[in-house]
Amino acid sequence: MRKLIYMSVILLFCFFTKAVNAQINVSLGVNIGSQPSWGPIGYDHADYYYLPDINTYYSVPTHQYVYYQNNRWIRTVNLPATYRNYDLYRGYKVVINERDPWLRDNIYRTRYANYKGRHDQLIIRDSRDEKYRNHWDNGKHKGWYKQKDKEYKQQDKRMKKEYKEQDKEMKKEMKDRKHEDKGHGHD
């Protein structure tokens, strides 16, 4: 009986995994779609990126850079001319989820000084994680959907086959137990 319950639990888990995966993507505070393709992977939400190489902040929600120039903080959609050749895809980005982080610039500049010159960070553009698909698919790779659909259909087919085999096995086991119980003459 325990085996039957165990097998049923495993089977239910397999069937519901697909449905749960579809629901996981819905969450409050997620802004993956608004993060730039040069942003670091692994963050479902990011308010700002701090760029230690050029001591600049990038606002993910407003798509603006914030940098210090002429004794004041400037907000603009472009990097200053001094950094126009800076490679955002190679430079290190630190995610900061704090309002107006440049007001504590001395803390961030000191804390992340050793990240200057680092080029080992994985970025959204280079990730093939499904949650970043809108950054690298852009509707041009329709085959991706066909491939995923094919994979899901194959998985469903395998699961149905496994279910039938397990069902057959459980029925046989139950039949054998009934036969054993009758054969031993239990009163």
- What pLDDT is stored for residue 2 in this prediction? 64
pLDDT band at 173 (very low <50, low <70, confident <90, very high): confident
Does residue 56 contact residue 79 with C-beta atoms inside 8 Å? yes
21 falls within a domain: no
For residue 112, pLDDT beyond 90? yes
pLDDT band at 18 (very low <50, low <70, confident <90, very high): very low
166 falls within a domain: no
Give burial (CB, 10 Å; 0-12/13-18/19+) of 86.
Answer: middle
For residue 33, pLDDT beyond 90? no
pLDDT band at 27 (very low <50, low <70, confident <90, very high): very low
Q: What is the rounded CA–CA span in Å between residue 78 and residue 86?
A: 11
65 falls within a domain: yes
Helices (H), 93-141: 105-111, 133-136
- What pLDDT is stored for residue 138 in this prediction? 55
104 falls within a domain: yes
Quick one: what percent of the chain has pLDDT higher than 70?
Answer: 65
- Confidence (pTM): 0.57
164 falls within a domain: no
22 falls within a domain: no
Of 98, 100, 108, which is closest to residue 53 (Cα–Cα)? 108
180 falls within a domain: no
pLDDT band at 171 (very low <50, low <70, confident <90, very high): confident
Does residue 48 contact residue 55 with C-beta atoms inside 8 Å? no
* Mean pLDDT score of the chain: 77
Range of the domain at 67: 32-123
138 falls within a domain: no
Query: C-alpha dihedral over 127, 89, 76, 109, to 10 degrees?
Result: 100
- What pLDDT is stored for residue 60 in this prediction? 94
| Number of domains within the chain | 1
